[in-house]
Amino acid sequence: MDAQQFLAEFGHIANAPGGVGRLRELVFALAAQGQLLDSCELVELSFLDKVADFVMGQAPPGNECNTNGNGTVFVKTGEFGELYPVVREWTTKPLKHAKQGDVLICVVGATVGKLNLAIDCAIGRSVAAIRPRGGLDTKYLYYMLMPFTFRLRSGSKGSAQGVIGKAELSAVTLRVPTEEEQSRIVAKVDELMAMCGKLEAQQQERRKLQNALRQSTLRAVAAATSLHELQTSWARLETNFGQLFSAPEDVDDFIAELKNLAVRGLLELPSASKPATDAIKVSCNELRVHYIASGLMRRQKLVGAADSDVIYPEHWAIVPFDEVAVVIGGVTKGRDLHGRETITCSYLAVANVQRGFFKLQALKTIQIASDELEKYLVQEGDLLITEGGDWDKVGRTAIWRGDIDNCLHQNHVFKARVPSEELLNEWVELVFNSGVGRDYFAGASKQTTNLASINMSQLRNFAASRSLFRRRMSNGQFSGK
């Protein structure tokens, strides 16, 4: 792409996903190749060490550094700013110096390759100063090093393993035209960078407006309390869909609201019949009696459904979760098992249970008494629900699919079993992970500054909704009937 083609396509490129960032990279690449201006001199590439000198940084003694302004400004990678270093630290024993007119480059760590224009300062070992010789403009050098920076950053992907030294810097090649052409290229890059900045600001403002409109439209859909209200707000959403959704993450909000509508019964046709919940209750009670008799759980006092502001269809039955599922606590770590025959098993902790899936990498193990295996064992189809965590993550729920043999659950993860086929585990998982479930768990939980937790009674209190129709599954995904 030559300069004229580039300028003609400037706006189109900017409007593509991640377009402004790609534009900046393209500007620097064209500048480095001598293709940003209509006419550029034919100049052979020079190795960087032929036109600049290097000063590799060295850290002064820690006891010679301070933050109260004594001595020489001291710059490490953490002080790199947008264009110039941020002054935060000083040293009374500087060992390596950079000076105004140098270009600073990070040579170690996650920010390897990042550039700044230098100020008079001492530099630490993670920083090098590139000092241009006569005939090489500092800002021109800064811009010509940008493609090298992008290549480094792309290769390291922000890894803390990145390291570059004099050999790597010496091998960098660049065009060194006349000072007059250097000045023209710097001016053109400055102009295009300013245009990128304006485009970015416009896009951010447009994105803010789009987000606000999308949220308002989705809220209207979510607030519908009747089929008529839903049809009206849905028609508005459908008409403006292209303007409201432009990025993949936008659809996440839409999917979340669809799930909320589903669990509130707004995605199914009205019915005059009520679901037969008696059979579910009988199955649940029989399972509970069996577990108590087998010593797998203690006798529990039945609880009622918690109050809820959610408006459900009249033909739905609302019952406490306790009447349709058996909730069992998990194994506690650090118990004294002296004198008992034990086995070692993997177990699920809070971090392993996510919303709708499990993270099973590097599961930890725990010892239990051999005769406790049945009590704490997780069986295929069990619902695992987190007791605590960050305040917005409490109550995360996923269905165990039997991925690991002899896997247990820790006491901070509840296990729930739904004995009747009239209530699908997938429906419970959907409800608990929806906005309805998350609002209940957040409101019922005991909260500290950053953490929240629910107890078994609060889980059993959950007002479970059941419609007349058994939910159908298609390829493992919920679909309302």
Q: Please write the tens of the pLDDT for every residue from 338-390.
A: 889 999 999 999 999 999 999 998 899 999 999 999 999 999 999 999 998 77
257 and 292 part of one domain: no
> What residues contact residue 403 under an 8 Å CB cut-off, 6+ apart?
358, 360
Residue 273 lies in a domain: no
Residue 133 lies in a domain: yes
Q: Residue holding tokens 């034990």? A: 342
Burial of 273 (0-12, 13-18, 19+ CB in 10 A): exposed
83 and 52 part of one domain: yes
pLDDT, mean of residues 79-93: 95
Q: Rounded to an integer, what distance in angstroms lies between the CA atom of residue 218 and that of residue 100? A: 53
Q: What pLDDT is recorded for position 15?
A: 62
Mean pLDDT of the chain: 84
Domain of 465 in residue numbering reads as 278-479
Sorting pLDDT into bands at 50, 70 and 90, what band is 470?
Answer: very low
Residue 347 lies in a domain: yes
210 and 353 part of one domain: no
Share above pLDDT 70 across residues of the chain, in percent, rounded to a whole number: 88
Residue 226 lies in a domain: yes
Do 228 and 399 contact (CB within 8 A), yes or no? no
213 and 188 part of one domain: no
Please name the helix (run of DSSP H) or strand (run of DSSP E) that holds residue 285, with its range, or none: helix 278-294
Q: What pLDDT is recorded for position 353?
A: 94
Q: How many CB atoms lie within 10 A of CB 64?
A: 17
153 and 84 part of one domain: yes
Strands 317-320 and 407-409: unpaired
Do 349 and 384 contact (CB within 8 A), yes or no? no
Token pair belonging to 245: 């959704």
Q: Residue holding tokens 């896009």? A: 203
190 and 210 part of one domain: no
Residue 270 lies in a domain: no
227 and 374 part of one domain: no
pLDDT, mean of residues 9-35: 77
185 and 242 part of one domain: no
Per residue in 137-154, pLDDT (tens digit) is 999 999 999 999 988 877
Residue 251 lies in a domain: yes
Using the predicted structure, report yes or no on whether residue 231 has a pLDDT greater than 50: yes
> What residues contact residue 90 under an 8 Å CB cut-off, 6+ apart?
65, 66, 67, 68, 69, 70, 71, 72, 73, 74
Residue 269 lies in a domain: no
Last residue of a domain, one of 263, 292, 314: 263
Q: How far is CA 397 from the centre of its chain?
A: 19
The CATH number that applies at residue 88 is: 3.90.220.20
192 and 207 part of one domain: no
118 and 230 part of one domain: no
Last residue of a domain, one of 169, 197, 225: 197
Q: What pLDDT is recorded for position 20?
A: 80
pLDDT, mean of residues 63-80: 95
The phi-psi region of residue 105 (left if phi > 0; otherwise alpha if psi is between -120 and 50; otherwise beta) is: beta
Q: What pLDDT is recorded for position 388?
A: 84
Rounded to two decimals, the pTM is: 0.58
Residue 360 lies in a domain: yes
312 and 252 part of one domain: no
Number of structural domains (the chain) is 3
Sorting pLDDT into bands at 50, 70 and 90, what band is 210?
Answer: confident
255 and 138 part of one domain: no
